[in-house]
């Protein structure tokens, strides 16, 4: 199996933890997780909690704006260019051995697609929330500025499509972390906390080697 040259880093020996995620990406990840948890909880509660729901939504929009910028100027594993993988590369990744998967830095090809889908769903949820009007406890700041049919559609999407889709992606994300930790014995959670991973072997798969975390 041949991967692009930029996806392979040669090393004689790996004895020190290798930087994977820079601190802005890690901070973004955990702040986004907290904001989404806040959105789910306040959305379920409804009523007076909808004012806090709106604040969490603004927080998600701000975080997504930062991630968009950082996807172009951040460290190598944070850049969207690393996310670009063909279907053939996705299939090739699944054929790798456990050790080869364990030595992959950054998002794997299928993981990168999942991240992009999650970010897209969150952006759609935040934007429709701005236009939504449930006529009970919440009216988005843009609801009065758009046609009523737009607001009605945004409200329907926000509740009926966006919410279950995001909850499904969260469940998939947690399942993937458990699969990597239990089946493949790859500690992804530690890398997202500390930014580094200790790898084994002489070949490290990555889009590029990070110089700094």
Is the pLDDT at 174 greater than 90? The verdict is yes
CA distance 127 to 57: 9
Q: Which domain holds residue 79?
A: 26-201
Is the pLDDT at 171 greater than 90? The verdict is yes
Is the pLDDT at 70 greater than 50? The verdict is yes
User: Considering its fold, how many domains does the chain have in total?
Assistant: 1
CA distance 86 to 71: 19
- Residue 36 within any structural domain of the chain: yes
- Residue 70 within any structural domain of the chain: yes
Beta bridge partners of 8: 205
- Residue 41 within any structural domain of the chain: yes
- Residue 21 within any structural domain of the chain: no
Q: How confident is the model at residue 125, as a pLDDT?
A: 97
- CATH code (residue 37): 1.20.950
Interval 146-164 mean pLDDT: 95
Per-residue confidence band for 101, with pLDDT thresholds at 50, 70 and 90: confident
- Residue 174 within any structural domain of the chain: yes
- Residue 206 within any structural domain of the chain: no
> Quick check: 26 and 110 in contact, CB under 8 A?
no
Rg (alpha carbons) of the chain, rounded to whole number: 20
- Residue 140 within any structural domain of the chain: yes
Is the pLDDT at 204 greater than 70? The verdict is no
- Residue 7 within any structural domain of the chain: no
17-33 pLDDT, tens digit per residue, is 788 899 999 999 999 99
Q: What is the DSSP letter of 75?
A: -
Q: How confident is the model at residue 1, as a pLDDT?
A: 42
Q: What is the DSSP letter of 172?
A: H
CA distance 154 to 133: 8
Is the pLDDT at 195 greater than 60? The verdict is yes
């Amino acid at each position: 199996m041949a991967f692009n040259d930029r996806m392979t880093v040669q090393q004689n020996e790996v004895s020190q933890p290798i930087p994977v995620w820079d601190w802005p990406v890690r901070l973004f990840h955990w702040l986004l997780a907290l904001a989404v948890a806040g959105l789910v909880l306040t959305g379920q509660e409804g009523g007076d909690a909808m004012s806090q729901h709106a604040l969490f939504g603004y927080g998600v929009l701000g975080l997504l704006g930062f991630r968009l910028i950082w996807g172009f100027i951040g460290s190598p594993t944070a850049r969207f260019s690393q996310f670009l993988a063909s279907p053939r590369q996705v299939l090739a990744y699944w054929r790798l051995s456990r050790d080869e998967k364990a030595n992959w830095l950054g998002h794997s090809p299928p993981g990168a697609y999942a991240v992009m889908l999650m970010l897209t769903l969150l952006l759609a949820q935040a934007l429709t929330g701005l236009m939504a009007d449930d006529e009970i406890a919440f009216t988005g700041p843009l609801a009065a500025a758009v046609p009523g049919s737009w607001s009605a559609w945004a409200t329907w999407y926000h509740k009926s499509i966006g919410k279950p889709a995001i909850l499904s992606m969260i469940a998939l994300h947690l399942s993937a972390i458990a699969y990597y930790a239990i089946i493949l014995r790859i500690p992804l959670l530690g890398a997202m906390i500390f930014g580094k991973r200790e790898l084994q072997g002489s070949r490290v798969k990555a889009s590029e080697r990070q110089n700094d975390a």
